[in-house]
Amino acid sequence: MSAATATVALGPAGQLRVTALQVWRELPRVLAVGAVTAATAVPVGVALLGAAPPWLVALALTPLALASAGLAQVGAALADGGRVRVGDLLRADALLALLILAAAAGSGWLVSQDGVLRIVGFAAAGLALAVLPRALAYGAVRGRGGIAAIRGGAILAVYRPGTTVSLIALGVLGAFAVAATVGTLALVVPALLAAFAARVTADELAGIDAAQGARP
């Protein structure tokens, strides 16, 4: 029985505690993964600070989008009680990363406009914030990619809105923690959030599979 399956009965707090313990056991490798992921954020940070044109910001966002897709694979390995490998970042789903990039660039451009386009941009950003983390976790846990991962993430976001809101809230808290430690926790927080998302997603999928199996 995998670690994810063994903790199906736990609530969110219990899931987070188990996830944190697993991250602690794999801390040296998690730190290495965090360092690589943080490095991929440098280009977009420089582009934003330099007031680069939108197309250049989108281009600079590409490494981070790929790292985010690869980080979901790391999270799934952690949630399943496996060993973390920096090479897991290279298992990123390129199509899903491209969709993340398109969502971020598109919503960012819309928000920068005036009038109704700005409202549409904020709505698009909110939708992406709800669906994309779920899609990344679903794709990593189920082994799906691209449109299939987005579809699965959207279904889970609607099926368990409370979990979706919890993931967003944890992401916000994680961002505050990173800022409060002047970036130090950026080496740990992304992997912790990815592992927690994978664990609760595996929990939900196990419940769905059990319910479908129980149907006459």
Q: CA neighbours within 13 Å on the CB side: how many for 73?
A: 21
Q: Report yes or no on 213 lying in a domain.
A: no
The mean pLDDT value for 121-133 works out to 91
Specify the pLDDT at position 134.
Answer: 93
User: 14-18, 54-58, 130-134 — which is least confidently predicted?
Assistant: 54-58
Number of domains in the chain: 1
Domain extent for 65: 16-208
Say if CB 124 and CB 139 are below 8 A apart. no
**pLDDT at position 50:** 83
Query: Secondary structure of 132-144 in the HEC alphabet?
Result: HHHHHHHHHHHCC
- Kindly state whether residue 23 falls inside one of the protein's structural domains: yes
Q: Is position 150 within any domain? A: yes
DSSP state of 206: H
Over residues 35-58, the pLDDT tens digits come to 998 898 888 888 888 877 777 888
In a domain, 125, yes or no: yes
Cβ-based neighbours of 35, under 8 Å, separated by 6 or more: 187
3: in domain: no
**CA-CA distance, 90 to 92, in Å (whole number)?**
5
Is 117 a member of any domain? yes
Alpha carbons 106 and 18: distance in angstroms, whole number: 36
In a domain, 143, yes or no: yes
Name the residue among 61, 159, 50 with its Cα closest to residue 108: 61
CA–CA separation, 190 and 198 (whole Å) = 12
Residue 215 lies in a domain: no
The candidate with the shortest Cα–Cα distance to 62, out of 35, 87, 94, 31, is 94
Task: Kindly report whether the global pTM for this prediction surpasses the value 0.85.
Answer: no
Distance of CA 121 to the CA centre of its chain: 21
